[in-house]
Each structure stands twice: as structure tokens, then as C-alpha cells.
């Protein structure tokens, strides 16, 4: 029983650690995805993957203008970076 509880606790910790931030902006205030991606490209980002997270943020995987790999969460209304890994 103790091993089951420990395993469950570790699994929950892993899920919580991988969960990204939560954005609370109403959808009607979001920048259009295509426009936002173009703004990032204009800043020198290369986007390999773009998605809307469960927390309702924009998230990109790609590289910055120096070629460094990035994973960044953005507020979809303001375009402000919220978290990066």
C-alpha cells in the first residue's frame, strides 16, 4: 500500500511540474494565432510547434534569433511572455 501511495504522489508531482501557466484572458480579446506567430517571426523566432495549452495560453517550441532552443508560454491577449523553459 505504501508503494502505491508513493507512486501516485510521484505521478501527480510529474503532472503538476509539466503543467504550464494559466492565462485568463477572454477568447474575444486574443490576438489571432496567425498574426501572433508572424509577430514572433518578425522578432527572429523560428516556430517549430505552436499550440494553445490547456491553461489557455499560446505556447511555442522553436528557436530564438540566436538559434537557441526555446519553449515559451505567452498571454494570448497581450502577447507578453509569461514563462519560458
The pTM score is 0.77
Q: Is residue 13 part of a domain?
A: no
- Name every residue whose Cβ is closer than 8 Å to that of residue 31 and which is 6 or more positions away in sequence: 39, 76, 77, 79
The answer as to whether 45 is a domain residue is yes
We report the CATH number of the domain holding residue 79 as 3.10.450
The answer to whether residue 6 is domain-embedded is no
Looking at the 3D structure of the chain, how many domains does it have? 1
**What are the tens digits of pLDDT across the range 25-63?**
999 999 999 999 999 999 999 999 999 999 999 999 999
Domain annotation covers residue 62: yes
Q: Which residue has the cell 477568447?
A: 27
Give the domain range for residue 79. Answer: 21-84
pLDDT attached to residue 19: 73
Amino acid at each position: 500500500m505504501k508503494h502505491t501511495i508513493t507512486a501516485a504522489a510521484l505521478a501527480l508531482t510529474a503532472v503538476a511540474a509539466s503543467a504550464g501557466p494559466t492565462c485568463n484572458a477572454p477568447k474575444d480579446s486574443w490576438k489571432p494565432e496567425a498574426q501572433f506567430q508572424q509577430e514572433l517571426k518578425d522578432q527572429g523566432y523560428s516556430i517549430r510547434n505552436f499550440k494553445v495549452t490547456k491553461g489557455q495560453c499560446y505556447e511555442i517550441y522553436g528557436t530564438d534569433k540566436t538559434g537557441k532552443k526555446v519553449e515559451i508560454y505567452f498571454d494570448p491577449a497581450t502577447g507578453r511572455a509569461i514563462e519560458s523553459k
